[in-house]
Amino acid sequence: MTDTPLRIGTRRRPLALAQAYETRDRLKAAFPELARDGALEIVEIVTQGDKVLDRALMEVGGKGLFTKEIDDAMLDGGIDIAVHSMKDVPTVLPDGIVL
């Protein structure tokens, strides 16, 4: 097994982090080789939706505001798995992204 950790990308928000840690724990339970220290890494990503504090999100663009930077990190190889809340996932996924 490689020493490179499997990187789980998520938003830097309490609910998103809880979901990412739950995903990590389930992966460890399902795949014992991932239970070793350093096998899994949580990568916190700030999204455009997290940065918009001065106006309604609908004014900025709606869907994708909380997922684009995370999806981009996965497409660029910065993370291996993305954890999203389904309510934030656009109806049409970017090329190269599958559920």
Spatial contact of 23 and 8, defined as CB atoms under 8 Å apart: yes
The neighbour count for residue 86, using CB atoms within 10 Å, is: 6
Residue scoring higher pLDDT (96 or 3)? 96
Choice among 50, 72, 80, 88 that is catalytic? 88
pLDDT at residue 54 above 60?
Answer: yes
88 classed as catalytic: yes
Whole-number Å distance between alpha carbons of 66 and 28: 26
6-87 carries CATH number 3.40.50.720: no
Q: Render pLDDT for 9-36 as a digit per residue (tens, 0 to 9).
A: 999 999 999 999 999 999 999 999 999 9
**Domain spans of the chain?**
6-87
Provide the whole-model pTM.
Answer: 0.88
